[in-house]
């Protein structure tokens, strides 16, 4: 789902946004779910009365997969709840275009007694869109704030949703998705009779088909487009824009073609160097001057008088480099070793004549070689984890500490609330007046409820610890908001079972030895698995080794052929020179 937000200035009025949202001539159908034209103008009047810069907030959401009108209306209600807007004073319009639907939500900036919340609005809108996609089972759409959204969801205990959204974040910040043009630019282009999405596809296809900036500029000219340097040279040096022949802006080159600015600057430098490069000399157009004399002049046209012969220069003296005594001694020893007999590896003599065998024998030998290759593959097998990179202690421990930090904060915060409530209860229980008025009993119930919440947070944090260090395959179950006394025995039993993990998470001094011990266990477990794998496959490898020896013996020359073939005499070993 793609979601966009724009704020309408009070001085602009509500006429333009009302025409676009409530009428929309390019839409197949317009369904007004709530609000009206009169209501938008009234919201603008209230904003002007309160002296606000912005009067309306326009939120457009376009799902990638079909959604019903009821689902779009429910999503609009979640947006109102997120920004503390009154759902009774909204304008919600559903547009249908090309068979798909999208929604337009208009919220007044003045909410009767406060201004509409706008802190981190883009990130919060993307969070709502990702959660809605997860809830409906739609494919997740990557956004620019996926890491921040995942961090916020982890703090709220929604670990499963956070992991799904964190997987969308790219490895490099420069790879984050970005919009090619703004919604305001889209509206402006529509009023001028241009279709920005089609122009964007055209520019992208022309860039993919071109082999450089020169050919790309030529193809742009054929389609009535031009590329030039942007107007903001001081703030964005090297940025180029693409516009129509009438001067209407289409968009930035890097945004339309998805080319990084660093790579585009290299292309510009290459283009400029090619323009200023000197033309290469064509040797076919050169002429060698020939000095004509009376003896070789066949046309009786004498050339210019010969120039005096050049003065002969004495050859320069060649200065030999100073020799290195150690290198000279090494070369002398190498020359002395030439006369010594060399220990050459013994190679079996080759037959004088090629071994003549039948076609059936050749096929049999080929099958034997293939069988040897299969057995050799068995010998070359290694444990699956043997080729893995060794575990790095400091990196692994740092990663674990970073992942466990928010859970530790959550556990300490819950324990602080319980400890504070317990202290207040004890003080009230010591007062006779508080016991008579019932305040002590109320504080005791609050303390017991906070104890249940603390045990639930403890369960969640310990499961997160086990999942992070690899002792639990699934993420922790989300924190339950409603707890009763029936849940107490199970939570108490869980606390007793994982008392060591609880102590490690509660005390930072105990957490470090626990993580060190866990890392040592990981390394030892990997070594044990490799050793067990080698031990389990040792008989198979031994059988493969014996089978290779048996098959290679069959490839040797038969004894009968060996007696009838002439064997070449081996060459004498290198000896002293005569």
Dihedral in degrees, nearest 10, Cα atoms 406, 410, 412, 413: 130
61: left (phi over 0), alpha (psi -120 to 50) or beta: beta
Alpha-carbon span 181 to 4, nearest angstrom:
12
pLDDT, position 341: 56
- Report the pLDDT value the prediction gives residue 168, as an integer from 0 to 100: 75
Annotate 80-109 with b (16+ C-beta within 10 A) or e (fewer): beebebeeebbbbbbbeeeeebbbbbbbbb
What are the start-end ranges of the H helices in 99-182?
Answer: 121-136, 146-155, 159-166
Residue recorded with tokens 């007793």: 496
- Position 300 scores a pLDDT of 45
So what's the pLDDT on residue 276?
58
**Spans of the chain below 50 pLDDT:** 174, 285-305, 559-578
pLDDT score recorded for residue 191: 53
- Residue 465 CA to residue 498 CA, distance in Å, equals 11
Give the model's pLDDT for residue 352.
52
Residue 505 burial by Cβ neighbours in a 10 Å radius (0-12, 13-18, 19+): buried
The SS3 call for residue 473 is coil
Output 486-489 pairs: Cβ under 8 A, ≥24 positions apart. Answer: 487/452, 487/456, 488/452, 488/455
CB-based contact 426:443 (threshold 8 Å): no
Q: What is the pLDDT of residues 142-196, one digit of tens each?
A: 777 788 888 888 887 787 788 888 877 765 554 555 555 555 555 555 555 556 6
Distance (Å, whole) CA 140 – CA 472: 26
pLDDT of amino acid 469: 83
Q: Full-prediction pTM beyond 0.75? A: no
Residue 542: its pLDDT value, please?
A: 92
Q: What is the pLDDT of residue 193?
A: 54
- Residue ranges and CATH numbers for the domains of the chain are 2-141 (3.30.930.30), 183-273 (no CATH), 393-506 (no CATH)
How far is the C-alpha of 124 from the C-alpha of 122, rounded, in Å? 6
CA angle 349-354-360, nearest 5°?
Answer: 120
At 487, give phi and psi (nearest 5°).
-85, -10
The distance of Cα 194 from the centroid of its chain, to the nearest Å, equals 34
Contacts of 449 (CB under 8 A, 6+ apart): 483
The Cα 507–Cα 225 span in angstroms is 66
- The per-residue pLDDT for 170 is 67
Eight-class DSSP state of 298? S
Helix (H, G, I), strand (E, B) or coil at 240: strand
B/e letters for 474-490, b = 16+ CB within 10 Å, e = fewer, are ebbeebeeebeeeeeee
Q: Where are the strands (E) in 143-298, listed by range?
A: 225-229, 240-244, 249-252
DSSP 22: I
5 φ/ψ angles, rounded to the nearest 5 degrees: -130, 140
């Amino acid at each position: 789902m793609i979601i966009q937000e724009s704020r309408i200035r009070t001085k602009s009025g509500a006429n333009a946004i009302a025409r676009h949202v409530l009428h929309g001539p390019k839409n197949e159908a317009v369904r007004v779910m709530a609000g009206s034209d009169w209501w938008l103008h009234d919201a603008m009047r209230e904003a002007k009365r309160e002296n606000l810069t912005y009067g309306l907030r326009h939120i457009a959401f376009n799902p990638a997969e079909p959604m019903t009108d009821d689902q779009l209306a429910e999503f609009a209600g979640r947006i109102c709840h997120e920004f503390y807007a009154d759902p009774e004073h909204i304008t919600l319009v559903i547009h249908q275009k090309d068979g798909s639907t999208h929604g337009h939500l208009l919220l007044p900036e003045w909410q009767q007694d406060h201004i509409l919340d706008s802190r981190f609005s883009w990130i919060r809108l993307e969070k709502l869109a990702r959660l809605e996609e997860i809830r409906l089972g739609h494919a997740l759409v990557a956004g620019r704030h996926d890491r921040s959204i995942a961090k916020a969801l982890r703090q709220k205990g929604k670990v499963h949703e956070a992991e799904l959204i964190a997987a969308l974040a790219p490895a490099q910040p420069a790879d984050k998705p970005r919009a090619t043009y703004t919604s305001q630019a889209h509206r402006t282009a529509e009023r001028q009779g241009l279709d920005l999405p089609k122009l964007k596809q055209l520019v992208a296809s022309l860039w993919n088909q071109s082999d450089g900036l020169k050919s790309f500029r030529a193809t742009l000219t054929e389609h009535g487009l031009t590329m030039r340097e942007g107007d903001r040279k001081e703030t964005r040096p090297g940025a180029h824009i693409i516009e129509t022949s009438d001067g209407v802006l289409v968009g930035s080159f890097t945004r339309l073609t998805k080319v990084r600015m660093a790579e585009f600057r290299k292309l510009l430098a290459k283009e400029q160097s090619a323009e200023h490069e000197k033309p290469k000399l064509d040797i076919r157009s050169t002429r060698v001057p020939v000095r004509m004399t009376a003896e070789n002049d066949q046309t009786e046209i004498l050339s210019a008088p010969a120039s005096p012969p050049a003065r002969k220069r004495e050859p320069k003296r060649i200065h030999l480099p100073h020799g290195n005594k150690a290198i000279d001694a090494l070369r002398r020893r190498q020359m002395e070793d030439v006369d010594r007999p060399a220990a050459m590896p013994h190679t079996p003599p080759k037959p004088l004549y090629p071994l003549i065998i039948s076609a059936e024998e050749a096929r049999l030998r080929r099958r034997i070689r293939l069988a040897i290759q299969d057995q050799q593959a068995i010998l070359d097998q290694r444990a699956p984890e043997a080729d893995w990179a060794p575990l790095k202690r400091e990196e692994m421990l740092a990663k674990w500490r970073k992942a466990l930090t928010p859970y530790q904060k959550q556990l300490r915060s819950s324990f602080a609330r319980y400890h504070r409530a317990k202290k207040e209860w004890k003080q009230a229980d010591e007062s006779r007046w508080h016991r008579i008025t019932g305040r002590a009993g109320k504080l005791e119930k609050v303390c017991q409820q906070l104890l249940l919440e603390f045990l639930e947070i403890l369960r969640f944090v310990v499961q997160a610890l086990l999942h992070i260090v690899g002792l639990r395959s699934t993420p922790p179950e989300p924190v339950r908001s409603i707890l009763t006394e029936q849940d107490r025995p199970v939570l108490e039993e869980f606390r007793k079972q994982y008392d060591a993990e609880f102590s490690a998470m509660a005390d930072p001094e105990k957490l470090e030895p626990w993580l060190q011990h866990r890392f040592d266990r990981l390394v030892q477990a990997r070594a044990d698995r490799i050793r067990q794998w080698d031990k389990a496959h040792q008989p198979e490898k031994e059988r493969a080794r014996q089978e290779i020896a048996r098959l290679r013996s069959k490839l040797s020359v038969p004894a009968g052929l060996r007696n009838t073939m002439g064997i070449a005499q081996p060459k004498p070993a290198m000896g002293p020179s005569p």
